[in-house]
Structure 1
Amino acid sequence: MTYIAKGDFLSCLKSKKLEIFLDWMISNDLFLHYSNLNILYWSSIDILESMIPQELLQVHMELKTILYEFIKIDLNNFVEILYKYEYPNIDRKKANNFLDEILGYIKSNEVKFISKYPIIDNSLISLVYQVIEKSKNTELTFIVDEKNHILIDDLFIFYKRAFETV
C-alpha cells in the first residue's frame, strides 16, 4: 500500500507526495470532496442537547465543546460511564445516577482541563455544571428510547447531506 502522507493533519499537509498529487489533480481539472466526521463528538453531543434550556441556546455550541474537551481528557473512564448506563439508551430510572457520574467525571478532571485550556472562561465550566445539575428529574430527550450502545446507527445522513450540497 502506498501512502501519500502519514501523521496528523498538519504533518500530512507538508508531504511532498501530497503536493505532487494535488498539483496533478489541479492540472487535470479534478475535484476532491473531503468530509471529516468526528464520531466521538457527534455521538456525545446529545448528552447536553438533552439538557440545554431555551435561555442558553446562544451558548449551546460552547457548552458542547467544553463537554467534548472534558471527554477527551480521560476517554476510557468516560466511555466506562457510557457503557455502564447503556448510552445512548439511558434508563429513565437511572438518569439521575448517570448525571451524577457525568458531574463527578467532570469535577475529577477539572484541574487537567483548566491546565490544558487556561483561556477558557471558568464561568462556562460552571454553566455546564449548572445545566447538568438542573437536568436531574427531567426527561433527557435525546438519550432515552434508543438502542443500547449504538452511538450512530448509520452514516446515511452525512452522505445525504454531502450529495445535497453538490
Structure 2
Amino acid sequence: MTSDSPLVEKIEVEAKQFYFETPTGRGTDQDLTLYYDETNNFGNLKLSAAGLNVTKSDNFVLGGIVLKPNQNAGDASEFRKLFRIQPTADEVKFDMVGHGAFEKVLGSSKLNYVLKWLLERDIGIHYTNLNIVNWFIVDIIDSIIACDEFASYFLMHRELKNELHNIATKDMPSFLALINKYDYPNVEREATFEFLKELYSFLVANWPETVFAPTNALKEIILRARVVPELCFLVGNNPGVLIKGIDSFFLYRLCAFKNSSHIFDEEKSVREAIEKYRITHDGREIPYQFVDSKQHFEIQLSDIVAGFLGRYFSFIEKTPTKSLIAFKKDMNQAQKSNVSALRALIEKSDALSNVLLHRVTTIDSDNKSDYFIFDTHLSPHLKATNR
C-alpha cells in the first residue's frame, strides 16, 4: 500500500463489518483489479437553518473499470489517437467526452469510442450509485420498523422509504427546516412525539393527488409511531451531520471484493477517507493503493466511466416519467448506440459479479433506470403520477 502520510495508528476493520455475504451476491471472491474515480463527492453533508451545505444534490457515484487477471486496458497511445487528444493534454478526462445537458452528452461520439473500447477488450465496470437525499431520510423508517410493534412493516420498507422520499422532495426547503428544528439526525428522545407529529402534518400538507397502498401505509405508520420512546437510529448522533464523509462507500467496495486489488486516484479527500483504516479478511490485509492518474490509463478510463454514470443517474432522478418516455422514444441513432453499449457493459459486468453494480436509491429511480436501459416495464404508479 503506497502512502506518503506520516505513520498513525490505523483503525482496524474486518471485512465482514462492512460487507455481509448474502445468498443473492455472487462473484466477490474473485481475484480482480478495480480502478476507481468518483463524481459529485460531497465530503460531509451537513444541515443548518440555511439548508444543506451543497448547492445541488446530484447523485454521488464511485466507479470505474474492472480487470481480470492478465488483462489490460489497452494501448493508451492508440486510444488517444482514436479519441483525438491533443499532445499537450496530460490525461484523458470525462470533460473531453461532452458538455452541456445529459441528452447532448449521451449522443457524444467520443463517449461511443470509450464504451466500445471497453466492450471490445472485455473490460467490466463497477459503480456505487448513491441518492444522497434518500440516504439521510431512510433512518426515519428504519428507526420505526426496528420497534417490535412495527416489525410487520419491514416487508414493505423500501416502498415506505420510496414514498417518504417522493413527498419530502416535493417541498425540500420545508422538509429540511422541519428536521433541522429537531437537530436531525439527533432527535432527542423527549422530542420524538412532536417530531413525528410535525412530520405527519408535513405529509398531509404535501399529500399527492394519486396515492397507492404504500403511500397510505406511510401515513399510517408515521401516525401510529408517535408512541415509540425513541427513534433508535436518530439518537446519539451529531446534530446537523447528515452524512459523515464518504468512508463507508469505499469500505463497502473494498470489503466486498476482499481478494481483489483496489487502485484509487491520488486525491487528498479520498486518501484521507480511506487511509486511516487497516482492512483485513481472515488476518490478511486487503491491498489498496493510490496512484497518479496521469501515469495510469486505467484511472483515466475510470474517470470517464464515473463521470458519465454520475450524469446519467442524476438525469434519471430528476427527469419526470413522461419526459423520460418521450426522450427514450425520440433518441437519435448516436444516443441509441450509446445506450445499447452501456447496456452491454452492465450485462457483462453483472455476469462477472452482480455486486460490482451497487445502487443505493429509491424504487422509482431503479425502475426508471431499468426501463431506460433494459426496456423493462414502468410501474403503473410512475405513469399515473409522472414522478
Q: TM-score range by the shorter chain?
A: 0.7 to 0.9
**Structure 1 CA distance for aligned equivalents of residues 214 and 104 of structure 2:** 32
**Structure 2 CA distance for aligned equivalents of residues 99 and 49 of structure 1:** 14
Which of 94, 103, 106 is equivalent to 2:203?
A: 106
Change in Cα spacing, 1:165 to 1:18, as seen in structure 2 (3 Å) is: farther
Higher relative contact order, structure no. (Cα contacts within 8 Å, ≥ 6 residues apart): 2
Residue aligning to 1:129: 219
Change in Cα spacing, 1:92 to 1:11, as seen in structure 2 (3 Å) is: farther
Aligned letter for 2:239? N
**Structure 1 CA distance for aligned equivalents of residues 201 and 122 of structure 2:** 54
Change in Cα spacing, 1:16 to 1:165, as seen in structure 2 (3 Å) is: farther
Aligned letter for 2:196? L
Which of 90, 112, 115 is equivalent to 1:19?
A: 112
Q: Percent identity?
A: 27
Which of 15, 35, 45 is equivalent to 2:128?
A: 35
CA-CA distance at 1:95 after TM superposition = 1.4
Change in Cα spacing, 1:11 to 1:65, as seen in structure 2 (3 Å) is: farther
Change in Cα spacing, 1:15 to 1:165, as seen in structure 2 (3 Å) is: farther
Residue aligning to 1:68: 165
Cα deviation 1:106-150 (Å, max 9, x = unaligned): 11111xx23xxx4x51x3222112211221131211111111011
Change in Cα spacing, 1:77 to 1:165, as seen in structure 2 (3 Å) is: same
TM-score, normalised with respect to structure 2: 0.38
Residue aligning to 2:188: 91
CA-CA distance at 1:28 after TM superposition = 4.9
3-state SS of 1:136 partner: helix
Structure 2 spans left out of the alignment, 5+ residues:
1-92, 258-387
Residue aligning to 1:82: 179
The structure with the largest alpha-carbon Rg is 2
Aligned length: 158
CA-CA distance at 1:13 after TM superposition = 3.4
Aligned letter for 1:143? L
- Between 11-20 and 98-107, the greater mean CA deviation after superposition: 11-20
Change in Cα spacing, 1:42 to 1:23, as seen in structure 2 (3 Å) is: same
Q: Which runs of 4+ in 1 moved over 6 A?
A: none
3-state SS of 2:214 partner: helix
Structure with greater proportional helix content: 1
**Structure 2 CA distance for aligned equivalents of residues 60 and 103 of structure 1:** 18
Change in Cα spacing, 1:3 to 1:149, as seen in structure 2 (3 Å) is: farther
Residue aligning to 1:157: 248
Aligned letter for 1:163? L
Structure with greater proportional strand content: 2
Structure 1 spans left out of the alignment, 5+ residues:
none
**Structure 2 CA distance for aligned equivalents of residues 104 and 128 of structure 1:** 13
**Structure 2 CA distance for aligned equivalents of residues 124 and 56 of structure 1:** 10
